[in-house]
Amino acid sequence: MYSVFLWRKGFRKDNHINYLIILVGCAFHTISLMERGFSLNRCPVHNLYEAVSFIAWTISATFLVIGLMPRLKFVGVFASPILFCTGVFALALGINEKPGVEPDFSMPLVSPHAALVMLAYGAYGLSAIAGGMFLTQEHDLKFHKARAILSMLPPIQKLEILVSRLMLAGQILMTAGMSLTPFLLLEKYEQLFVADLKTIWAIFVWVMYTVLYLSHWKFAIGGRRLAWGTVLAFAFVMLTFWGVNLLSGIHTPQ
């Protein structure tokens, strides 16, 4: 609600209150993840609820770091609705547990693999948030020049750099996480590749972000197109993540 207030004010008011609200929420979120992790003795990412919760925690924790820079505090205004919606989604749909299925912790590489991939999704989410900030600032420059001048949002040039760097961080994390997949499959199925829906989907997501980043790096595709690309790419990830996870025989065994 406070983020909506700041949005309507045209980002002309500093948002220390919004930062503190997210800080308190992240503190409780961290305690929740730690207690769940200690109860399992593993990184708590073994079901859909925990995966969504871990992505939200990554976004909020990273914001608390970059939000220390005055001109990037408004990342929280864009992040808050996403964090709220993902939290409600995870809780309201009853995806906290899958009855009759116990997490399999027999393979030590599962936790780092899952954690790296979830961190990558968090970086993708932050890249999309920066993209949303870019589109807002560009819109104000085009139609509300006075509001853009008075706005406390960063210049669009810096936002474009932020979008590309967060996307690159996501690609590095995703590549590191996916590099462990063949070892996990070899240990459990004695194969280097299994045609599982979630695995194929993850490869597609990696290729999609690779093409997006290379288009920016090699062919100088940036600005509005890059911003929209990151926003739409992350929207695709969040809208399809839960479905492919539930249909995956490896990640959600029957």
Which tokens hold the place of 135? Answer: 């589109």
Write down the pLDDT at residue 206: 94
Asked if the model's pLDDT at residue 13 lies above 70, the reply is no
8 Å CB contact between 223 and 158: no
> What pLDDT does residue 204 have?
94
Judged against a pLDDT cut of 70, whether residue 230 lies above it is answered with yes
pLDDT reading at 2 higher than 70: yes
Reported as a pLDDT band with limits 50, 70 and 90, residue 98 is very low
Q: Which amino acid belongs to residue 248?
A: S
Share of the chain above pLDDT 70, in %: 77
248 pLDDT higher than 90: no
Report the C-alpha gap between 5 and 82 in whole angstroms. 16
CB 103 within 8 A of CB 42: yes
Instruction: Check residue 213 and give its pLDDT.
Output: 92
Identity of residue 225 = R
Res 17: pLDDT:
80
pLDDT tens digits for range 47-84: 778 878 888 888 888 888 877 777 677 677 777 888 88
Helix, strand or coil for residue 6? helix
Per-domain boundaries in the chain = 2-247
Q: For residue 207, what pLDDT band results from cuts at 50, 70 and 90?
A: very high
Residue 101 has pLDDT above 50, yes or no: no
Least confident residue range of 18-32, 135-149, 180-194, 202-216: 135-149
Lowest mean pLDDT among 24-33, 87-96, 167-176, 213-222: 87-96
Q: What is the mean pLDDT of residues 205-216?
A: 93
Residue 214: name the closest of 173, 171, 160, 177 by CA: 171
Instruction: Find out whether 197 and 162 touch, Cβ atoms under 8 Å.
Output: no
Q: In this structure, are residues 224 and 242 in contact, taking their beta carbons and an 8 Å threshold?
A: no
Joined together, the tokens standing for residue 123 give 């970086």
Name, of 19-23, 104-108, 195-199, the range with top average pLDDT: 19-23
* pLDDT for residue 25 is more than 80: yes
Question: Are 118 and 45 within 8 A, CB to CB?
Answer: yes
Q: Rounded to 5 degrees, what are φ and ψ at 234?
A: -70, -35
Q: Which residue has the tokens 């079901």?
A: 47
Q: CB–CB of 102/42 below 8 Å?
A: no
pTM over 0.85: no
pLDDT tens track for 128-179: 988 888 887 777 777 656 555 445 566 777 788 888 988 999 999 999 988 8
At residue 28, the pLDDT reads 93
Residue 229 has pLDDT above 80, yes or no: yes
